[in-house]
Structures are given as structure tokens and as C-alpha cells.
Amino acid sequence: MESVASLPRTKIVRHELFLILLLASIQFTNIMDFMIMFPLQDYFLKQFQIDTAMFSLVLSSYSFAAAIAALIGANFIDRFNRKSAAIFLYVGFLVGTALCAVANTYSFLLFARIIAGIFGGMVSGVILSIIGDVFPIEKRGKAMGGVMGAFSAASVLGVPSGIRIAMSSGWNYTFAFIVLLGLPILVLAILYLPSLPSKMEKQKVADFSQLINVLSKRDHLVALAFFMSVILGGFTVVTSIAVFMERNMGFSKTQVSHIYEIGGICTFVSSWIVGFMSDKFGKHKVFLILVLLALLPILAITHLPKDLPVYMALGVTTVFMVLVSGRVIPSMAMLTSAIRPEVRGSFMSVNSSLQSVATGIGALLAGAILVQLPNGTFERFDVVGYFAVGFNLLALYLSRKVKIVS
């Protein structure tokens, strides 16, 4: 297969599209593994007899494990071929997901999520680095939009399928399903991912110079803080939507799956549109518009009245998913363009680490704010929404300080 890196740069061509789809497939299983935890929350609360705070610990354990691994990996990741790193990390992720499939106690599930987080968090950073290395800035928004479409595909196909498997066979089988999906993707990655050798000079002794190099520059710190704010602006709300809809709005588990199906279909389409618009009109401008628009469904979804018809509630969740996920596309394109190629892998590993920290903080924050009443419903979801709005406004402010260098 012809090297993707050598192809013409005027438009997205067939070989580049294949690479986008392959990277998106890796992300699909990775995102599905993370997202499926949200709608399965009710199963875990009942089977393990835990509260929302303990469930938040399971969510955040994945995130914080990913954060620590990515932070350590930032010192070494640019010294390896991108393809080799991606394959190694994806294998580790599949092993961690397989452990989730056989978990039968709360403590074992916690352990399994840590293993999945260690590898799953790092593989995302490598995938984004591959996009930054292969695609020039004028096409990076489209490429990022395509890979971000994995979120939509996971919502449309992955999460609803996982919910139905859990309903018919048990939640353990949902994780086994993810592993079965991942195995042929792993084979394709081995065969077709482009070889992207390290651009660093050979070093015999590993040290923390790369991490220091990334964290010592003010522009890097601003970019990292910016993306953490973007993630917190969504995940403080996302982590509790499914259980809130079940307990407070009276949604059935089938109706919860509709949230991901309908929202995912719309997001799949909008991801490509947002990527195109980002390249055409500028990343900063599109991000500004999407953030301001996203504030409305964030406030709406955290203030839903109990007597709201199901179709109207689904409309709110769909707009929420489209706009909140849409913000990530121009912000990630800005992020990958703010770093020089020779340190992009290390920077993206640090970013993956802090992104995981942000998702963990978001889960813990939501778990700490929400209060479960004796009848099983939750209150103070509106407070969670106010925090999300604050994080989005902070991201908006920081976005003006992110400088594009490549």
C-alpha cells in the first residue's frame, strides 16, 4: 500500500480516507468502551449495591489511570514509530476491556477499568499525533472531523448495541462484544497503518526532557488548559445524563438507547460539516459559535421538567450531543496545530493525560454534586449545568490565547 504521507495534499483522497476510517475504527471501540459505562450505571448500582459516588470512582479510575500513563508516556512516545506505539497500546486496551468482561466484583471491575484506562488513554493521543503528522493544517479539520465521527458511530451503533446486549445477556457481555469488534481492527492496523518513524534524534537513555520541554513553554500550558476546559464543559453533564433520564424522567432503557442512536446519527453528519466549516472559516471562529450555541442545551438538559414529553426530551439531548461534541472538532484541530511536529507526540500524550484528568474530575464533580433521594431520583443536576457553563466560558477565553504554529 502506498505511503499516505506521500500523497497529494490538495484534497482528501481515497488512501487518506481509508486511514481516517481506520483511525476512527480504533477510536470507535475505545470511545464505546468509555461511553458504555454511562448507560450501564443503573446495572452497576444495583448489582454491586453502590452509590453514585462509588460509581464515579469507577469512571474516574479509568480517567486517572489514563492520565498517569499518558503523562509518563509523554517522555518516550516521540522516540517510537507511531504505528508500533498505536498497535502496542491498542492490544493493551483490548486486554483491559476483556478483563471488564469477566469482572464479577466491584473491586475487580475497578482494577479492570484501570488497566483499560492505562492503554486506552494513551492510544487516543497517538492517533491524534498520526493525524497531525500525516495531514497538513489545511486538511486537518476534515481529518479530525472524520476521526471524531467515531464518537457519533459509537453513539449510533456501539452504545445502543451494548445496552441491548446488557438487557438480554448481562453487562459483562457488552465488554466481550467490544473485544470481538476490536480484533479485526487490530489486524487492519497491523497491515495498513503508515509507518511514521520518530523525528527525534536517537537517545540511549530515557529521561524526562521531553516532558519538561512540553510543560516549560507558556503557549503549551495555555493550550493544555484550554482543552481541559473544553472537556470539563461537556463531561460534567455527560456522565449523568443516562441515569438522570432513567430515574428522573422515567425513560426506559430502550428509550435511553434512543438518546445515543438519534443523537449519534445527527452528530455523525454534523462532525463532517463542522470539520469542513473549521477549515473554510477558521477554527477559532467556528469554536466561538459552537460554544455559545452549546450553552443553551447544556442549561436545558439540566433543567428538564419531569412532565416533558419524551420526544421533546430527545430533541434536547440530540441538540446537546451535536453542539457539545461539535466544539471538540475545531478545538482539537487548533490544539494539534499549536505544536511543532517534533514534540507533537509528547504534547498529545500530556494532553491525553490532562484530558483524562478532566473527565475524571467531571465524573467526580457530578457524583459529588448530585444527591440521590429515597425514591431513587436525583436532584441538583441544575448545579452541574452551571459548572459546565462556567467551564465553557473559560474555554472560550483561553481559545483566544492559543497560537497556531504548524
> What is the model's pLDDT at position 10?
45
Give the 3-state secondary structure of residue 379: strand
21: number of Cβ within 10 Å: 15
Classify the phi-psi angles of 250: left when phi > 0, otherwise alpha if psi is within -120 to 50, otherwise beta. left
Q: Please report, in angstroms and rounded to a whole number, the separation of the first and last CA atoms in the chain.
A: 27
Mean pLDDT of 192-198: 79
Give the 3-state secondary structure of residue 246: helix
What is the C-alpha separation between 219 and 402, in angstroms, rounded? 7
Residue 101 near residue 340, CB atoms below 8 Å: no
pLDDT, tens digit, for every residue of 24-54? Answer: 889 889 888 988 888 888 888 888 888 777 8
> What is the model's pLDDT at position 85?
87
Fold that domain 12-197+208-399 belongs to in CATH: Growth Hormone; Chain: A; (1.20.1250)
> What is the model's pLDDT at position 42?
82
Cα of 326 vs its chain's centroid, Å: 12
> What is the model's pLDDT at position 163?
85
- Name the amino acid, one letter, at 70: A
Of 119, 129, 134, nearest in space to 186 by CA = 119
Query: Which of 70-84, 172-186, 194-208 has the least mean pLDDT?
Result: 194-208
Name the band, by pLDDT with cuts 50, 70 and 90, for residue 7.
very low
pLDDT, tens digit, for every residue of 312-368? Answer: 999 999 999 999 989 988 998 888 777 877 677 678 777 877 877 888 888 888 888
pLDDT, tens digit, for every residue of 258-293? Answer: 888 888 888 878 887 888 888 888 888 999 999 999
More confident call, 146 vs 399? 399
> What is the model's pLDDT at position 187?
95
Name the band, by pLDDT with cuts 50, 70 and 90, for residue 125.
confident
> What is the model's pLDDT at position 204?
44
| Sequence spans of domains, the chain | 12-197+208-399
pLDDT over 70 for what percent of the chain? 89
pLDDT above 70 (res 84): yes
β-sheet bridge partners, residue 372:
378
Give the 3-state secondary structure of residue 38: coil
